[in-house]
């Protein structure tokens, strides 16, 4: 494992075009004789990355002129998908974007990827499912950039594009919310609603949003509208903060609840939208545990009060 702080840096991408290649959607290419791949991660991560990239010699199911391989081992997670697929798509030159087919082995959901293709006016994506696609012009994003922790101008431009395309500037920024994960998901907070009720003494506008109740209504559009309306949010670390791509720059205040693993990717999304942030780390919360955790209300309420009363752009670690 590498040290995350060393990778806490602005993103730097390069678009390469490989001619006449086969791809399986996992980020690997075949030139007709053997599998090859260009590192997308920092030194020391390639073996780990390849472990998840299963190079099965399946049948060729499509022949394409232009395609983008967004292969990465964790694209089924929403936050990783935004980092390693959504941002790449924005970088494709507009002159060819409408001709480019996204090829991937997995995504958070087909509806998410279809929504993205629609908003960029791209062809329907291809899910390889261990199959192979032949591409005359294969677009491939390479480093040097870090694994999952990049941020910067690219994400900001993506935000501007999405807010204009989805007309998010029309949504009033008025909501103060505590957002909790669904039951059965990791890092759900057992006493978050009780803490929210106490926070109403600081600001009566706070509301408790339990994603377990709204899960049947959750999609990219409803999520975008929710986050575009937020003025203050208390939320766990994880993919949820990747929704900062829908947030207007410089308006959000956020208290992020970290587990034992400090979530630098979530912080990077907050940096990108220039949010005011207080980070709270609770070492007793396991990253992948599905048991709802109880956290210290006083720490959260102290952070909420401090941030609510703040005027300057800050980031505290408590």
- Taking residue 1's Cβ as centre, other Cβ atoms within 10 Å add up to 6
159 in any annotated domain:
no
Distance CA 76, CA 271 (A): 24
Predicted model pTM: 0.85
258 in any annotated domain:
yes
Distance CA 118, CA 162 (A): 12
**Residues 116, 212 share a domain:** no
Q: Which residue, 150, 180, 210, sits at the end of a domain?
A: 150
What are the strands, taking DSSP E only, across the chain?
A: 14-23, 29-30, 35-36, 60-69, 100-104, 126-127, 132-142, 175-180, 206-210, 230-236, 253-258, 276-281, 315-317
- pLDDT for 150 equals 53
Residues with Cβ within 8 Å of 47's Cβ and at least 6 positions away in sequence, in order, are none
- Cis omega (within 30 of 0) on the bond before 242? no
Q: Which domain holds residue 115?
A: 4-150
Average pLDDT over residues 159-185: 95
pLDDT, tens digit, 9 for 90 and up, residues 56-104? 567 888 999 999 887 666 777 888 788 777 877 888 888 999 999 988 8
**Residues 304, 194 share a domain:** yes
pLDDT, tens digit, 9 for 90 and up, residues 256-306? 999 988 787 788 888 888 999 999 999 999 888 899 999 999 999 999 999
209 in any annotated domain:
yes
- pLDDT for 70 equals 76
- pLDDT for 192 equals 98
**Residues 24, 99 share a domain:** yes
CATH of the domain at 252: 3.40.50.360
**Residues 181, 115 share a domain:** no
Distance CA 301, CA 297 (A): 6
Distance CA 196, CA 39 (A): 44
The four Cα atoms 150, 153, 155, 160 give a dihedral, to 10 degrees, of 170
Is pLDDT at 237 greater than 80 in this prediction?
A: yes
Q: What average pLDDT does the chain have?
A: 82
Work out whether the CA dihedral 289, 277, 230, 91 comes out positive or negative. Answer: negative
**Residues 190, 298 share a domain:** yes
Is pLDDT at 40 greater than 70 in this prediction?
A: no
How many secondary structure helices (H) and strands (E) does the chain include?
11, 13
Identify which of 175, 198, 197, 178 has the alpha carbon closest to the alpha carbon of residue 188.
178
**Residues 266, 312 share a domain:** yes
**Residues 91, 41 share a domain:** yes
Q: Roughly how many angstroms between the first and final C-alpha of the chain, as a whole number? A: 25
Residues with Cβ within 8 Å of 90's Cβ and at least 6 positions away in sequence, in order, are 120, 154, 157, 158, 161
- Taking residue 316's Cβ as centre, other Cβ atoms within 10 Å add up to 14
**Residues 124, 215 share a domain:** no
Phi, psi of 143 (to 5 degrees): -80, -160
- Count the domains in the chain: 2
**Residues 145, 208 share a domain:** no
- pLDDT for 54 equals 52
Give the ranges where 166-238 is alpha helix by DSSP (H). 192-199, 211-214, 220-228
161 in any annotated domain:
no
**Residues 178, 43 share a domain:** no
């Amino acid at each position: 494992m590498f040290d995350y702080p060393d990778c806490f840096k602005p993103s730097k991408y390069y678009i390469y075009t490989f001619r006449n290649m086969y791809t399986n959607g996992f980020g690997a290419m075949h030139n007709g004789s053997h599998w090859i791949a260009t590192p997308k991660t920092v030194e020391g991560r390639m073996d780990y990355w390849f472990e998840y990239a299963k190079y099965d010699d399946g049948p060729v199911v499509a022949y394409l002129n232009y395609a983008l391989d967004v292969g990465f081992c964790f694209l089924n997670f929403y936050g990783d998908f935004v980092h390693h697929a959504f941002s790449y798509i924005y970088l494709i030159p507009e002159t060819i974007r409408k001709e480019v087919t996204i090829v991937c082995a997995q995504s958070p959901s087909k509806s998410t990827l279809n929504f993205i293709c629609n908003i960029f006016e791209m062809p329907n994506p291809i899910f390889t499912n261990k199959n192979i696609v032949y591409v005359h012009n294969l677009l491939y994003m390479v480093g040097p950039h870090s694994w999952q922790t990049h941020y910067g101008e690219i994400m900001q431009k993506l935000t501007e594009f999405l807010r204009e395309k989805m007309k998010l500037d029309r949504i009033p920024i008025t909501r103060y919310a505590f957002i909790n994960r669904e039951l059965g998901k990791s890092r759900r907070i057992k006493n978050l609603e009780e803490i929210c009720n106490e926070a109403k003494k600081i600001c009566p506008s706070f509301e408790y949003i339990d994603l377990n109740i709204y899960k049947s209504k959750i999609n990219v559009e409803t999520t975008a509208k929710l986050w575009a309306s937020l003025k203050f949010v208390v939320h766990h670390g994880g993919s949820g903060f990747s929704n900062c791509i829908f947030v207007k720059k410089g308006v959000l205040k956020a208290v992020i609840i970290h587990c034992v693993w400090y979530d630098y990717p979530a912080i990077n999304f907050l940096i990108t939208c220039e949010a005011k942030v207080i980070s709270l780390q609770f070492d007793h919360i396991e990253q992948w545990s599905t048991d709802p955790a109880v956290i210290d209300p006083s720490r959260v309420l102290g952070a909420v009060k401090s941030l609510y009363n703040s005027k300057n752009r800050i980031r505290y670690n408590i």
